[in-house]
Amino acid sequence: MLETTKNIGKDFVLSVEGLTVSFDGFKAVNDLSFYVEENEIRVIIGPNGAGKTTVLDLICGRTAATEGSIKFKGKELTKMKEHQIVHTGVGRKFQNPSIYEDLTVFENLELSFPRGHSVFGALFFKRDKEVIEKISEIAAMIFLGDKLGMSADLLSHGQKQWLEIGMLLIQDPELLMLDEPVAGMSVSERKQTADLLHRITKDRSVLVIEHDMQFVAEIADRVTVLHQGKVLSEGSMERVQSDPKVIEVYLGH
């Protein structure tokens, strides 16, 4: 994992530059820059209030940036609306499982199927073979193959997390953003999730926020440490863990 020169023009999937957002003068993210390469798994860690979730909010358009740019595959995201950002290939999982509890697992996945996203597209959407096959495939992948007809509110917490990951997978995003995917999971669920993430992160870039250091060490290609809205340190897990600045604010107490 060499920290080679960040030459401009290298094909980063995501480049965040000079990103700043301020809420009534408080800068939750302050002049932040980082770059994610193709097929890289990047984990963002940092103490509470470091601005981790805000960074994801900014990338997916939930919060408007005050300054700076976010380029995804060369396209500027800061001016786009949420659904447009999704269509460029960014998928986002929320911290608390965000699924439709009034609908079945099948319907949850179906709504994320990347077709019929306009009003009339949705009105005349046909549940054809392609859709059913794709959903079955994804459902099997997220360990919910036998729960398709179940109402989503009956799932366990861990299963809800998987369902949301499945909803992202079906969109087949090039950049997958996961906010604490193993939070609140049992040990066995966590293991399954790590497994799942290993399988699904092939062929795409992933941005993960996670607190669980063991889990981070397991999956991360590189780690970015945020502190007070800025990058404190960046690099491989070992490098970050031995960085005295990081030890001071985060790892050691």
Partner 1 sequence: MNNITEFIARNRYSHMIILALLLAVVLPLSMDIFRLNLVGKYLTYAFVALGLVLCWGYGGILSLGQGVFFGLGGYCMAMFLKLEASSPENTQIQSTPGIPDFMDWNQITELPWFWEPFHSFGFTLVAVLVVPALFAFIIAVAMFKRRVGGVYFAIITQAIAAILTILIIGQQGYTGGVNGITDLRTLNGWDIRTDSAKYVLYYVNVVLLFACIFIAGFVVKSKLGRLLVAMREREDRVRFSGYDVSNFKIFVFCLAAMISAIGGAMFTLQVGFMSPSFVGIVPSIEMVIFCALGGRLSILGAVYGTLLVNFAKTSFSESFPELWLFAMGALFIGVVMAFPNGLAGIYQTYIEPRLISKKKGYEKEDPKKKDDNPALANPEEEKTHA
Nearest distance from C-beta of residue 123 to partner 1, angstroms = 5
Cα 80 to Cα 61: distance, rounded to the nearest angstrom: 7
Using the rule CB under 8 A, is 144 a contact of partner 1?
Answer: no
CB of 145 to partner 1, least distance (A): 10
Tokens of 181: 């995917």
Q: Which residue's structure tokens are 């986002």?
A: 92
Of 7-15, 21-29, 37-45, 148-156, the segment contacting partner 1 by CB under 8 A is 148-156
Q: Which of 119, 203, 244, 252 binds partner 1 (CB under 8 A)?
A: 119
Residue among 111, 212, 101 at smallest CA distance from 167: 111
CA 192 to chain centre: 18
Q: Which residues of 103-113 are buried (b: 16+ CB within 10 A; e: fewer)?
A: ebbbbbbbbbb
Q: Which of 81, 199, 202, 253 binds partner 1 (CB under 8 A)?
A: 81
Q: Which stretch binds partner 1 (CB under 8 A): 8-16, 27-35, 144-152, 245-253?
A: 144-152
Q: Which of 76, 102, 238, 248 binds partner 1 (CB under 8 A)?
A: 102
- Does residue 149 interact with partner 1 by CB under 8 A? yes
The first and second tokens of residue 15, run together, are 């480049």
CB of 63 to partner 1, least distance (A): 12
* SS3 call for 71: strand
Q: Which one of residues 22, 33, 104, 192 is an interface residue with partner 1 (CB under 8 A)?
A: 104
- Taking CB under 8 A as the criterion, the residue among 3, 114, 140, 157 binding partner 1 is 114
68 binds partner 1 (CB under 8 A): no
Interface residue with partner 1, options 51, 68, 91, 166 (CB under 8 A): 91
Which residue, 25 or 149, has its beta carbon nearer to partner 1? 149
Q: How far is the CB of 241 from partner 1 (least distance, A)?
A: 32
H runs (alpha helix) in 153-248: 157-169, 187-200, 213-219, 237-241, 244-246
Tokens standing for 213? 């250091």
Q: What is the four-CA torsion angle of 66, 69, 70, 73, rounded to 10 degrees?
A: 160
**From start to end of 59-103, where are the E strands?**
67-72, 75-76, 90-93
Interface residues with partner 1 (CB under 8 A) are 60, 62, 81-83, 86-87, 91-92, 94, 98-107, 110-112, 114, 116-119, 122-125, 127, 132, 135, 148-149, 151, 167, 171
